[in-house]
């Protein structure tokens, strides 16, 4: 906390040099404010204070954060694009998820920090830069550029999800190999929830400054859940175990919070500090719907780093599952440990 106070003080002094000689009282007030007010800490500063590897920090500040800001802008200001249609000017439009994918790819490529990129929108991996002996300086970034894109036209919250690995193909690795993970929520506010493998933190976009500022540090998920977000209820029509689980949640008096978007649903758990999100398999999707690499692994790291858990329906830990294909899917139960 001291480090934040020093930064807070520095920021204040830059704007108010008259405060150079501070009285003890003023200093005490500022210390109190610094304890409650994290809005002065930019994402860049946060990464610096936490001694994040310089290149990893740059990947977030120079590629992922700008991509998220651009996607936000597209969602808000772009036409409601539908693939293959034309807008009122007769111009060809791209689907929003296709535009978002291109935005992320462009930023990753431009950063010069990426060996391999893989996206939910692409069949195979793309190599941007050969990983030679300076391999340590390059990363593999996997992402879902716009999860829940079908919710945009009804103005529900949607998100982008990112997982960062050391350079090299993600195939054969596990989610535990991730160096960092984050998701962006495009809701009434734009937030970025991030882990570098040491706690999970929320940043909020300040539109005036085009910067993310720390809004909640060290999010915590309690073991007991008050909220439940039951995805794929179709499975309950044919699986007694899922029907029983849902019945158990209802009988416990838990509150339903389900938006249809994995990002806002898991964000709800992280911000409220408890809850469970489920997406089991059923006959039409025997492997489940959600992708291990692009969706489940980044979410599992973020949730585990906040004290929660993430397992598949056989009880296997999501982050320990071998990645056998880019688009491999998995059932998932994620959130408060005792509700899984």
Which residues of this protein are in contact with ligand AHM, per CB under 6 A?
Answer: 120, 144, 147-149, 231-232, 260-262, 279, 289
The Cα 168–Cα 8 span in angstroms is 39
How do beta strands 227-230 and 211-216 pair?
unpaired
137 contact choice in ligand AHM, Mg ion, none (CB below 5 to 8 Å, kind-dependent): none
Q: Minimum distance between the CB of residue 205 and Mg ion, rounded to whole angstroms?
A: 21
Choices 48-56, 94-102, 140-148, 306-314; region in contact with Mg ion by CB under 5 A: 140-148
Counting beta carbons within 10 angstroms of the beta carbon of residue 5, is it exposed (0 to 12), middle (13 to 18) or buried (19 or more)? Answer: middle
Q: Minimum distance between the CB of residue 240 and Mg ion, rounded to whole angstroms?
A: 28
Token couple for 312: 């598949």
In the bound state, the residue with its beta carbon closest to ligand AHM is 262
Decide: helix, strand or coil at residue 332. Answer: strand
Q: Minimum distance between the CB of residue 281 and Mg ion, rounded to whole angstroms?
A: 16
Q: Minimum distance between the CB of residue 298 and ligand AHM, rounded to whole angstroms?
A: 13
Q: Minimum distance between the CB of residue 279 and Mg ion, rounded to whole angstroms?
A: 11
In the bound state, the residue with its beta carbon closest to Mg ion is 147
232 contact choice in Mg ion, ligand AHM, none (CB below 5 to 8 Å, kind-dependent): ligand AHM
Q: Minimum distance between the CB of residue 310 and ligand AHM, rounded to whole angstroms?
A: 14
Q: Minimum distance between the CB of residue 183 and Mg ion, rounded to whole angstroms?
A: 11
The Cα 266–Cα 274 span in angstroms is 10
**Would you count residue 144 as binding Mg ion (CB under 5 A)?**
yes
The Cα 150–Cα 156 span in angstroms is 9
42 versus 100: smaller Cβ distance to ligand AHM: 100
**Would you count residue 121 as binding Mg ion (CB under 5 A)?**
no
Q: Minimum distance between the CB of residue 77 and ligand AHM, rounded to whole angstroms?
A: 21
261 versus 331: smaller Cβ distance to ligand AHM: 261
Decide: helix, strand or coil at residue 326. Answer: coil
**Would you count residue 304 as binding Mg ion (CB under 5 A)?**
no
In sequence order, the 6+-apart residues with CB closer than 8 A to the CB of 32 are: none
At residue 284's C-alpha, the angle toward residues 276 and 97, to 5°, is 70
Tally of CB atoms within 10 A around 270? 25
- What are the b/e assignments for 103-131, b being 16+ CB within 10 Å? bbbebbeebebbbbbbbbbeeebeebbeb
- In the region spanning residues 199 to 228, those forming contacts with Mg ion, defined by CB under 5 A, are none
150 versus 255: smaller Cβ distance to Mg ion: 150
Q: Which of 167, 170, 94, 179 is nearest to 134 (CA)?
A: 167
The Cα 315–Cα 313 span in angstroms is 5
How do beta strands 114-119 and 139-147 pair?
parallel
115 versus 267: smaller Cβ distance to ligand AHM: 267
145 versus 309: smaller Cβ distance to ligand AHM: 145
The Cα 27–Cα 22 span in angstroms is 6
Compute and round to an integer the Cα radius of gyration of the chain: 21
214 versus 292: smaller Cβ distance to Mg ion: 292
52 versus 281: smaller Cβ distance to ligand AHM: 281
38 contact choice in ligand AHM, Mg ion, none (CB below 5 to 8 Å, kind-dependent): none
- Give the footprint of Mg ion on this chain (CB under 5 A): 144, 147
């Amino acid at each position: 906390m001291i480090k934040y106070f020093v930064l807070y003080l520095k920021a204040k002094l830059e704007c108010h040099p008259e405060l150079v000689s501070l009285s003890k009282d003023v200093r005490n007030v500022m210390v109190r404010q610094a304890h409650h007010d994290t809005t002065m800490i930019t994402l860049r500063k946060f990464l610096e204070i936490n001694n994040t590897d310089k290149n990893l920090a740059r990947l977030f500040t120079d590629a992922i954060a700008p991509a998220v800001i651009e996607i936000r802008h597209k969602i808000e200001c772009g036409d409601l694009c539908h693939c293959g249609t034309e807008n009122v000017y007769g111009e060809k439009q791209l689907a929003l998820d296709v535009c978002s994918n291109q935005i992320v790819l462009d930023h990753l490529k431009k950063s010069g920090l990426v060996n391999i990129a893989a996206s939910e929108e692409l069949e195979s991996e793309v190599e941007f830069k050969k990983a030679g002996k300076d391999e340590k300086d390059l990363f593999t970034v996997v992402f879902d550029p716009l999860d829940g894109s079908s919710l945009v036209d009804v103005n529900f919250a949607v998100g982008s999800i990112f997982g960062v690995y050391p350079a090299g193909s993600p195939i054969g690795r596990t989610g535990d190999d991730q160096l960092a993970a984050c998701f962006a929520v495009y809701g009434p506010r734009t937030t970025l929830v991030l882990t570098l493998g040491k706690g999970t933190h929320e940043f909020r976009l300040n539109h005036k400054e085009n910067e993310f500022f720390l809004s909640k540090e060290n999010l915590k998920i309690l073991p007991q859940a008050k909220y439940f977000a039951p995805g794929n209820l179709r499975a309950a029509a044919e699986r007694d175990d899922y029907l029983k689980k849902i019945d158990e949640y209802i009988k416990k008096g838990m509150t339903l919070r389900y938006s249809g978007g994995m990002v806002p649903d898991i964000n709800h758990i992280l911000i409220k500090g408890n809850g469970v999100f489920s997406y089991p398999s059923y006959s039409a999707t025997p492997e489940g719907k959600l992708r291990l690499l692009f969706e489940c692994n980044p979410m599992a790291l973020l949730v585990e780093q906040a004290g929660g858990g993430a397992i598949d329906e056989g009880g296997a830990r999501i982050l320990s599952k071998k990645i056998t294909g880019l688009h491999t899917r998995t059932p998932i139960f994620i959130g408060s440990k005792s509700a899984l």
